[in-house]
Amino acid sequence: MKYLKIHTLEKGLRDRDSIMLHAAFQILVDFVELEKPGEIVDWNSDDSHKRAWKEICDLYDWWTSYCQELCLRKSGGVPNFLNTINKIYSSNDFSYLSITMKTLPSSLSTLT
């Protein structure tokens, strides 16, 4: 059995929707950083691959870079990734996810 270590969640009880959000992005981060698809897949082979790779990179960049940058601004210069993610999550502003959820499946479905 394989376990998924979600680095952005502290131990304790969480609502399932919060766990799913963090788990999905942890899988994405693990995919990009550990499996290194940029080195083994020809993402320029056609338009659908290009769009899928762009979406993967955009999501990865947002979750890793942008969230950490927000964290620095909101904490007065001290990195506090978990607090920033929790503030974003509790604000109920998921416009960035609704756009992604509408476009990601269609861009990836053309890869099969």
Q: Does residue 11 lie within any of the structural domains?
A: no
Per residue in 29-39, pLDDT tens? 999 999 999 99
Q: Does residue 44 lie within any of the structural domains?
A: no
Instruction: Classify each residue of 88-97 as buried b or exposed e, where b means 16 or more C-beta atoms within 10 Å of its C-beta.
Output: bbeeeeeeee
Average pLDDT over residues 47-55: 95
Instruction: Classify each residue of 17-26 as buried b or exposed e, where b means 16 or more C-beta atoms within 10 Å of its C-beta.
Output: eeeebbeebb
Q: Does residue 57 lie within any of the structural domains?
A: yes
- Under the banding of pLDDT at 50, 70 and 90, the label for residue 9 is confident
The count of structural domains within the chain is 1
d(CA 59, CA 86): 18
The candidate with the shortest Cα–Cα distance to 100, out of 46, 68, 69, 56, is: 56
pTM above 0.85, yes or no: no
Domain assignment of residue 81, given as a range: 50-112
Q: Does residue 15 lie within any of the structural domains?
A: no
Q: Does residue 6 lie within any of the structural domains?
A: no
Per residue in 67-80, pLDDT tens? 676 556 656 655 55
Instruction: Name which of 24-33, 40-49, 61-70, 95-104 the model is least confident about.
Output: 95-104
